[in-house]
Structure 1
């Protein structure tokens, strides 16, 4: 059983409650102390001290102003994949048992990696909501980037047959991001 880590001393609480490990879930800095990559090494060490597994959570960005207009401090811009690579690199370089990717069904928080096309929802009773897209790259940009990161984490070398079926600019940027991560490793 894996429990949510919010504070830097939550490993003890999870241990005393009978959990086997903890994950950080939130990807916006400032949402919780545990959501900051700067605390992950200490959290990993604390969880190890209690014989718990540790899973830092990452995402490509965080932008939830459409549902929490007061939450500007937590915004993490995607920077065309650069932020995703940075937090993935930090998660890879601590002693974690795995990495949690926060994404599915969190479109309102801007953490999605699923295929995305530009879309604006309008309702005469509610304010317009614009969900993040990946322009100028393809709708599958973050799925491709995630696959390259997983290959790096697991030492895989193969890619799906259709992986390269996108434009050369996107492929060049994806490999530039991965090579930056490899160089700082």
Structure 2
């Protein structure tokens, strides 16, 4: 968050004759971060956090207005199946978002801005300690303080639900 637009731009804008190009996506915390990301030569902005309401940009009710505010670059909302990191951050219970047997995940997909060119990221990369995993899982008690919940409809619940939600969007 502390790198200037000029420093980012130096890394993204090439004077080389070779025209290899990646698609660079920057983290947005609030809607007024968009101008800096655009002037830094990022190609898009994304919200990353799976806890709805953790930041302005991760608040699903704000996504449509953020799309309008970030007109110069696409806004890519991030969804997640829930969030609970109190196994590793015991003080962070306020950020916990219950999976509600899939209802939380479904609501995040429902709140995605409308449009034909929409992109969404799913914040879930084996983040077992943050409770955002969608990979197959069964209940596991690691210790008296660390427990992982099973899924309400079996180990593949969120893989199947993700497929259903993506094709319904």
Q: How many residues align?
A: 146
Which position in structure 1 is the counterpart of 2:85?
64
Which position in structure 2 is the counterpart of 1:36?
59
Shift of 1:128: 3.4
CA distance in 2, matches of 1:145, 1:29: 19
Shift of 1:90: 0.5
CA distance in 1, matches of 2:108, 2:49: 12
Aligned-residue CA RMSD in angstroms?
1.7
For the 8 Å contact 1:40–1:94, the answer to whether it is kept is no
CA distance in 1, matches of 2:111, 2:62: 10
What SS does the aligned partner of 2:126 have? coil
Of Structure 1 and Structure 2, the greater helix share is in 1
For the 8 Å contact 1:58–1:84, the answer to whether it is kept is yes
2:161 is matched with which residue: 145, 157, 160? 145
CA distance in 2, matches of 1:35, 1:59: 10
What SS does the aligned partner of 1:42 have? helix
For the 8 Å contact 2:126–2:135, the answer to whether it is kept is no
* 1:19 counterpart = 2:42: yes
For the 8 Å contact 2:31–2:70, the answer to whether it is kept is no
For the 8 Å contact 1:63–1:77, the answer to whether it is kept is yes
Q: Which runs of 4+ in 1 moved over 4 A?
A: none
CA distance in 1, matches of 2:160, 2:87: 27
Give the unaligned 5+ runs of structure 1: 154-185
CA distance in 1, matches of 2:86, 2:42: 33
Which position in structure 1 is the counterpart of 2:31?
8
Under a length normalisation based on structure 2, what TM-score does the superposition of the two structures give? 0.80
